[in-house]
Amino acid sequence: MKILVPVKRVVDYNVKVRVKADNSGVDIANVKMSMNPFDEIAVEEAVRLKEAGVATEVIAVSCGVAQCQETLRTAMAIGADRGILVQTDEELQPLAVAKLLKTLVEKEGPQLVILGKQAIDDDANQTGQMLAALLNLPQATFASKVAIADGKATVTREIDGGLETLSMSLPAIVTTDLRLNEPRYATLPNIMKAKKKPLETVTPADLGVDVAPRLKTLKVEEPPKRSAGVKVADVAELVAKLKNEAKVI
């Protein structure tokens, strides 16, 4: 069976972004870009399923600017077999991405799509659920464990009160949470090998999808700054401050 893994190019998680002076967005010029960490977990899970003999092919997909090729090469260095870039310079919102992915799922026929639960730039947490809705497929979001057997997926999910396990027929949509696995580091030979793997480029128009944004960003601002308070000398001073100054205990 095939597994499709969408990957997003985002500002690296170690970078503290700055809001542009004209409040039009955050400044991403000359900032390190990486694969969204949750998507890395998705690629790792798909590759492990292939290594375990459950999957036969792992296809990485990225939607966005030409530089998303680098993100696809990273996915292929982890172990994806090939990549598809849906190239556009337009701003892509989750609904548009879900529509693009839907056309690729219909074309490629994967039994499983594994996505990151959220991208760390827009923090939307939508694309997997939207893809499942558009395809009318079962969804298992926030997965911490995935098992595939007998045409079924059994997925443990991290929910507010603890954990729950769902069973569903394939094809299915899974989104990853942090503790699903620990992605491997790509080795140099695998990075070299990834450069030779097939990478196909299509456009939203080729796929017949209207990607026009539905939400307009009017402005982007700095959050209210929280300034550092005071250092207290000992526990007694801390308790006194909490009681008499902050009045929270």
Partner 1 sequence: MSILVIAEHDNASIKAGTLNTLAAAQAIGGDIDLLVVGSGCGAAAEAGAKIAGVSKVRVADAAHYADGGAENVAALVVANAGGYTHILAAASTFGKNVMPRVAAQLDVAQISEIVTVVSADTFRRPIYAGNAIATVQSADPVKVITVRTTGFDPVAETGGSGSVEALDAGADTGLTKLVNRELTKSERPELGAAGIIVSGGRGLGNGENYHSLLEPLADKLNAALGASRAAVDAGYVPNDYQVGQTGKIVAPQLYVAIGISGAIQHLAGMKDSKVIVAINKDEEAPIFQVADYGLVADLFDAVPALTAALG
Give the relative orientation of helices 94-108 and 127-135 as an angle to the nearest 10 degrees.
50
Check residue 210 for interaction with partner 1 (CB under 8 A). no
> Cβ of residue 146: shortest distance to partner 1, in angstroms?
13
199 touches partner 1 (CB under 8 A): no
Under the criterion CB under 8 A, does residue 141 sit at the interface with partner 1?
yes
31 touches 142 (CB < 8 A): no
Tokens 């529509």 — which residue? 99
Kindly indicate which of the ranges 81-89, 106-114, 117-125, 201-209 contains the residues binding partner 1, using the contact rule CB under 8 A. Answer: 117-125
Tell me which DSSP letter residue 26 carries: B
- Minimum Å gap between C-beta 115 and partner 1 is 12
The mark string for 3-42 relative to partner 1 (x by CB under 8 A, - otherwise) is --------x-x--xx-x------x-----------x----
Among 102, 158, 166, 109, residue whose Cα is nearest residue 129 = 102
Specify the DSSP element, H or E, that contains 3.
strand 2-6
- Which among 50-58, 103-111, 194-202, 213-221 is the span making contact with partner 1, rule CB under 8 A? 213-221
3-state SS, residue 95: helix
Least Å from the CB of residue 123 to partner 1 = 6
Q: How far is the CB of 121 from partner 1 (least distance, A)?
A: 6
Q: For residues 133 and 13, what is the distance between their CA atoms, to the nearest angstrom? A: 29
